[in-house]
Amino acid sequence: MAEPTFRAPKGTRDILPPDSGRLRALIDEFAAAAGLRGFGEVVSPMFEDLGVFKRLGEETDVVTKEMFDFLDKGDPPQHLALRPELTASICRAYAEHRPVPPWKIWYEGPQFRYEQPQAGRYRQFTQVGVEVLGADDPQVDVDVISLGWDFYRTLGLRQVELVINSMGDASCRPQYMAALTDHLVGHRSDLSPQSQVTLDRNPLRILDSKRDEDQAVIAAAPSMVDYLNEECSVHFEEVRAGLDALGIPYSMSPRLVRGFDYYTKTVFEFVGDALGGSQNAVGGGGRYDRLVEDLGGPPTAGIGFALGVDRILLACDAEGVFPGPATAVSVFVVDVTGGGHALDVCTRLREAGIGADRAYGGRSMKAQMKVADRSGAPFAAIIGEDEVAAGEVTLRDLRGEAGQRRVALDDLVRDVRALTTN
Ligand code: AMP
């Protein structure tokens, strides 16, 4: 094949059938799970004022290095950015529309981050997620985490682990930050050059570092849970008790701080053990009790998660679960009389709600049967001169043992239904 003139931009992919069908099926599964728990869908813009995303934390990688931002053509121009995630947009929407709390919403769609692409890491990737705004109750944390947990189970994934931590709140975090900073400054020379720079700007972000040189210093760092005030400590205990009551296993990770600055109290991550390497987080989230206020809204508690659809599908491949849906086409119509009858037969089937497809171009029986096989349809309806003369079609089983038989055109819908509902 000749080199194409253009390719999809670096870090992006065309998702073609049948993979796109699998992606759609996964999103539909998520929509059903969220709907069952009373979440409604929000469809929000793919770009926002850059200021919305700056609230994710001025020193986070997502804001400093990974934003796809641009000036629009206005006078004066507005500084916009493609969304790198959806929590900030949802909080902006909450501040703008002031819905009645608790506001339980779900979303799906592409996110954009200018990252170094590698397996499981793209510049455009799809997330599904939920947010609950206006409720501080630890039961909400349990509900949200269990939705994520149950969703992976529904897909058939068994090698996903839940890791949790608490980030405290504005009254206990400063003491922890002081202790963490002391520790990191004391070991400055043992840190990687990049983390030495980060240390002066945002010491917490060093805990996100995956660099080997940083790991010993990180392992010896103080833990946030040892600094929690009474309220945060009780909140975290109740979250854990709720997970225990549901029988959801988890491990505690004192270093789990997640990549954004907005988290308070509960944070959690879902790790896909079947995915090797560092891109093994298949989802994560946490509580953010300040973000709506930061975006100009009333003080509002919030919690949510985002799950990485592309990575979940890689995890499904690795565990051999959640195959793509079967084709919606039940009958492939092969017409060797020129093609006019195929149109009639397809129309009859489709009007009865039976998926039907056909070949074009008046090709030979052999060529059309090849297309029928490739289509994945379980049955072929073959039309030759004999069949036309008798007002019949030959119905052939392409997958099972049923062989073939002639059926009257007027009975075709009934017969296909009988065969496909068995
Ligand atoms: P985050 O919004 O960073 O908390 O990410 C939530 C989930 O989205 C992660 O656990 C990943 O599964 C997925 N994700 C984040 N960034 C990427 C990316 N660049 N490519 C693919 N998936 C991603």
Q: Which atom of ligand 1 is nearest to the CA of 62?
A: 3
Q: Residue 157: give the domain boundaries.
A: 19-172+228-319
Establish whether residue 127 lines the binding site of ligand 1, counting it when its CB lies within 6 angstroms of any ligand atom.
Answer: yes
Contact (CB, 8 A) for 128 and 106: yes
Q: 76-94: buried (b, 16+ CB within 10 Å) or exposed (e) per residue?
A: eeeebbbbbbbbbbbbbbb
Establish whether residue 92 lines the binding site of ligand 1, counting it when its CB lies within 6 angstroms of any ligand atom.
Answer: no
Q: Give yes or no: residues 162 and 23 share one domain.
A: yes
Q: Rounded mean pLDDT of 286-300?
A: 92
Query: In degrees, to the nearest 5, what angle opens at C-alpha 309 toward C-alphas 305 and 315?
Result: 110
12 within domain boundaries: no
CATH assignment at residue 287: 3.30.930.10
204 within domain boundaries: no
Q: Quote the ligand 1 centre to 308 CA distance (angstroms).
A: 5
Q: Of 85, 111, 305, which is best to mutate to test ligand 1, by the most ligand atoms within 8 angstroms of its C-beta?
A: 111
Q: Give yes or no: residues 402 and 314 share one domain.
A: no
Residue 56 has which token pair? 């994710």
Contact (CB, 8 A) for 212 and 194: no
Q: Give yes or no: residues 306 and 377 share one domain.
A: no
CATH assignment at residue 409: 3.40.50.800
Q: Name which of 415, 365, 356 is nearest 385 in CA terms.
A: 365
Q: Quote the ligand 1 centre to 114 CA distance (angstroms).
A: 12
Amino acid 257: pLDDT: 84
Establish whether residue 355 lines the binding site of ligand 1, counting it when its CB lies within 6 angstroms of any ligand atom.
Answer: no
Tens digit of each residue's pLDDT (9 = 90 or more) over 136-182: 999 999 999 999 999 999 999 999 999 999 999 989 999 999 999 99
Amino acid 64: pLDDT: 82
Looking only at the bridges linking them, the beta strands covering 79-82 and 69-71 are: antiparallel
Amino acid 232: pLDDT: 96
Contact (CB, 8 A) for 334 and 383: yes
75 within domain boundaries: yes
Q: Which atom of ligand 1 is nearest to the CA of 87?
A: 2
Q: Quote the ligand 1 centre to 126 CA distance (angstroms).
A: 8
Tens digit of each residue's pLDDT (9 = 90 or more) over 100-138: 999 999 999 999 999 999 999 999 999 999 999 999 999
End-to-end C-alpha distance for the chain, whole angstroms? 44
Cα–Cα distance for residue pair 284/87, rounded to 1 Å: 12
Q: Quote the ligand 1 centre to 231 CA distance (angstroms).
A: 30
Angle between helices 138-155 and 19-36 (to 10 degrees): 150
Beta-strand ranges (E) seen in 96-159 are 103-112, 124-133
Amino acid 65: pLDDT: 87
Q: Give yes or no: residues 295 and 373 share one domain.
A: no
Q: pLDDT confidence of 215, banded at 50, 70, 90?
A: very high
Q: Quote the ligand 1 centre to 7 CA distance (angstroms).
A: 24
Establish whether residue 270 lines the binding site of ligand 1, counting it when its CB lies within 6 angstroms of any ligand atom.
Answer: no
Q: Rounded mean pLDDT of 278-298?
A: 92
Q: pLDDT confidence of 241, banded at 50, 70, 90?
A: very high
Mean pLDDT rounded to a whole number for the chain: 94
Q: Name which of 351, 342, 354, 343 is nearest 378 in CA terms.
A: 354
Q: Which atom of ligand 1 is nearest to the CA of 122?
A: 20
Q: Give yes or no: residues 156 and 292 share one domain.
A: yes
Contact (CB, 8 A) for 165 and 256: yes
Q: Give yes or no: residues 307 and 379 share one domain.
A: no
DSSP string, 212-232: GGGHHHHHTSPPGGGG--HHH
Q: Of 61, 125, 275, 303, which is best to mutate to test ligand 1, by the most ligand atoms within 8 angstroms of its C-beta?
A: 125
Q: Quote the ligand 1 centre to 113 CA distance (angstroms).
A: 9
Q: Rounded mean pLDDT of 282-295?
A: 93
Establish whether residue 209 lines the binding site of ligand 1, counting it when its CB lies within 6 angstroms of any ligand atom.
Answer: no
Q: pLDDT confidence of 421, banded at 50, 70, 90?
A: confident
307 within domain boundaries: yes
Q: Give yes or no: residues 261 and 122 share one domain.
A: yes
**Domain termination residue (choose one: 299, 319, 339):** 319
More confident residue, 44 or 205: 44
**Residue 225: helix, strand or coil by DSSP?**
helix
Q: Give yes or no: residues 274 and 379 share one domain.
A: no
Q: pLDDT confidence of 255, banded at 50, 70, 90?
A: confident
Amino acid 409: pLDDT: 96
On the question of pLDDT at 72 being above 90, the answer is yes
Amino acid 422: pLDDT: 63
Establish whether residue 113 lines the binding site of ligand 1, counting it when its CB lies within 6 angstroms of any ligand atom.
Answer: yes
Q: Give yes or no: residues 134 and 33 share one domain.
A: yes
Amino acid 46: pLDDT: 98
Tens digit of each residue's pLDDT (9 = 90 or more) over 333-362: 999 998 789 999 999 999 999 999 999 988
Amino acid 279: pLDDT: 85
Q: Tell me how many domains the chain contains.
A: 2
Establish whether residue 115 lines the binding site of ligand 1, counting it when its CB lies within 6 angstroms of any ligand atom.
Answer: yes
Residues in the chain: 422
Amino acid 193: pLDDT: 93
